Structure 1
């Protein structure tokens, strides 16, 4: 869906989110190159997503609305331009925290903006100290581990978490489009993530059975 086409949608709500990233020379434990820093956030509902939120095209541009949301969520009103826009599409109707009726007419505009590592650090500090929504709508900023350790830990573990809407696919597509992770590395990470989900299902079944027994004592 084109950006202009999305704005012409009658009766649709509009939301904007952005992936902030930078390059880095840092190394994990002084050995594993981190290469890139990609920021996401833990939301109030326990799901991972990108900073942003609902905007009002009748009162502001999409980019101005996104900057306003960033000020509330990360404490810094980063300037966002039309050139940072990547895609516009309807929100998926299978979001765990949204009913199909409320999300089917929601259009998500996704942006990607590269900034300096120093600014990334400022965003992380502000998000935990001055952002109005910290501890409320947003529970904290997190970095996406783009590396894979010998133990298998790293990107595959991160991808096994729960994401809001299409945030996981936005992340995956962006990593590939920007060449932050090779297709081969990402494929291996996703395959391992699927295996972890199978093991997690077994753990959840065991925990559910345990709580069922505990319920009988109350």
Structure 2
């Protein structure tokens, strides 16, 4: 019996709770779907799997700005920011096996399971891609170990230029920190997935996310102005 047949019929839509949405002004909403629905999509669909690794961080920037969490992303070969992961060929791999294979090339020492699954969304554009997203909370020590391991991975300096931590705070100029980070260029659904995870996992209040996104849409200060307001 095939995998899809063994899963049985899809439950009636009336019995399913509504899937969470991002709901942040200025960020286009992507269509959510359940893992079950995603697995029933036909062979014409491609599946991408990416993961957010994060850890509570008690540190204080300048002794007064709470860091809250350390969240890992990557600077890619094309100059875009993204999460570790990639496309998974469903003919040969489960989602998690395919994801772990890619993570092994870029990070080295981490394996995710279905328990780390967070969400799936249909992407915009001409290509039929469903983007699956995973999130794993680690200790700060475990996360630092992964950062060190990533430097020695096969993809470091090739497809991956290095790991970066996402600043989750906003400085008093209302641009420093998360707003400036969000003004960078992101690959595919990475920016949406970052904001979605920060909201769903209660890592940043929704109103703070909305403020950070809105700040990126205001005219930017000059580099000289920024240099004068480091804190």
Q: TM-score range by the shorter chain?
A: 0.7 to 0.9
The answer on 1:49 being equivalent to 2:82 is yes
Equivalent residue pairs, number? 189
Q: Which range moved further: 163-172 or 6-15? A: 6-15
Output the CA distance in 2 between the equivalents of 1:19 and 1:135.
Answer: 20
Output the CA distance in 2 between the equivalents of 1:66 and 1:155.
Answer: 27
Sort the Cα spacing of 1:72 and 1:146 in 2 relative to 1 into closer, same or farther, 3 A: same
> Deviation at 1:11?
2.5
The match for 2:172 is 150
TM-score, reference length from structure 1: 0.80
> Deviation at 1:2?
2.5
The match for 1:113 is 136
The match for 1:6 is 38
Deviation track 1:116-160 (CA, whole Å, cap 9, x = no partner) reads 1111101111112x1111111111111110011123310100000
8 Å contact from structure 1 (residues 7, 57) kept in 2: no
The match for 1:127 is 150
Question: Which consecutive residues of structure 1, in runs of 5 or more, have no partner in the other structure?
Answer: 94-99, 204-218
Output the CA distance in 2 between the equivalents of 1:187 and 1:177.
Answer: 14
Q: SS state of the match for residue 26, structure 1?
A: strand
The match for 2:108 is 75
- Which structure shows the higher helix fraction? 1
Deviation track 1:22-56 (CA, whole Å, cap 9, x = no partner) reads 10111112221101111111111111111001112
Output the CA distance in 2 between the equivalents of 1:189 and 1:71.
Answer: 33
8 Å contact from structure 2 (residues 131, 189) kept in 1: no
Output the CA distance in 2 between the equivalents of 1:108 and 1:190.
Answer: 22
Q: SS state of the match for residue 110, structure 1?
A: strand
1:90 to 122, 131, 143: 122
RMSD (Å) for aligned C-alpha atoms: 1.9
Question: Which consecutive residues of structure 2, in runs of 5 or more, have no partner in the other structure?
Answer: 1-32, 224-231
Output the CA distance in 1 between the equivalents of 2:180 and 2:37.
Answer: 37
Output the CA distance in 2 between the equivalents of 1:108 and 1:186.
Answer: 22
1:37 to 37, 60, 70: 70
